Amino acid sequence: MTGIRFALERSRGTNATPVRSAIAGAVLAVTVLVMTVTFGASLNALVSHPSLYGWNWDYSILSSFDGAENLPSHQIATFLSQDKDVRAWSACTSRKANSTVRG
C-alpha cells in the first residue's frame, strides 16, 4: 500500500509530476485500444458473413442501376431454370419512369 500511496501522492515544487493526468491518459489509451479491437472484431465478423447485413444470396446479375437496360426476363428465367447448379432464384426489375416537371 505504501508504494501505491507514494506513486499517487502529489508533490510540490521542482519535483512535481503530473501523476493523475498520466494515469488518466493511460486509462484512456487502454480503453480506446479495447474499443478498437472490439469494433474491428465485430466488423470482421459482419463482413465475413454477408447474411448478417441482409445479403442473403450468393450472386447478383445487374445490367444497370437505373433500370434503363434491364435484362430480358424470359431469357434469364429460362437460363436460371435450366442450370443444375441453381437451386432457387428470384427476380427484381425496375422501369425508368418518364416524368417532366413544369414550372
What would the grid cell of residue 35 be?
A: 474499443
Cβ neighbours of residue 86 closer than 8 Å, sequence gap 6 or more = 80
Residue 68 has pLDDT above 60, yes or no: no
Long-range contact pairs involving 9-15 (C-beta distance under 8 Å, separation at least 24): none
Banded pLDDT at 91 (limits 50, 70, 90): confident
pLDDT for position 33: 98
Task: Calculate the average pLDDT of the chain.
Answer: 79
- Per residue in 6-50, pLDDT (tens digit) is 777 777 777 777 778 888 899 999 999 999 999 999 999 888 888
With 0.85 as the threshold, say if the pTM is over it: no
